[in-house]
Amino acid sequence: QVQLQESGPALVKPSQMLSLTCTVSGDSITTSGYRWSWVRQAPGKALEWMGAILYDGTTEYKPSLESRISLSRDTSKNRFFLQLSDVTPEDTAVYHCAREKERRPFGYPPTYEYDYWGQGTQVTVSS
């Protein structure tokens, strides 16, 4: 059973950096055929996919966030990380990490579907 757990600060000041960690157990983040994602949901808004780090370490980002977002990982600890710079109150949301499984049959470009989620962590941006 794959488990993901988010951790990080619950409150971040405007203009500062939001940094979150996702700790994964039950499978390696280097396993082929998966990518590891950050997804958020602001109050009253739909889920927003932010970006993902693939099993080989490459990253993909939502274009509207690309200037502010950075994903990284520590394979020795089976963790991956989110950094979101220059935050504003509009970044207030519940932040989830998740696994996405590549759909079969494999194709190009690859497509994915969520199969595991962390419980989420509330982050509030406020002065």
In which band, very low, low, confident or very high, does the pLDDT at 106 lie, cut at 50, 70 and 90?
confident
Q: 2-16, 82-96, 101-115: which has the minimum mean pLDDT?
A: 101-115
Q: State the Cα–Cα distance between residues 17 and 122, nearest whole angstrom.
A: 15
Q: Average model confidence (pLDDT) for the chain?
A: 97
In this prediction, residue 91 carries a pLDDT of: 98
In which band, very low, low, confident or very high, does the pLDDT at 105 lie, cut at 50, 70 and 90?
confident
Q: What pLDDT, in 10s, does the model give residues 34-87?
A: 999 999 999 999 999 999 999 999 999 999 999 999 999 999 999 999 999 999
Could you tell me if 77 and 19 are in contact, meaning their C-beta atoms sit under 8 angstroms apart?
no
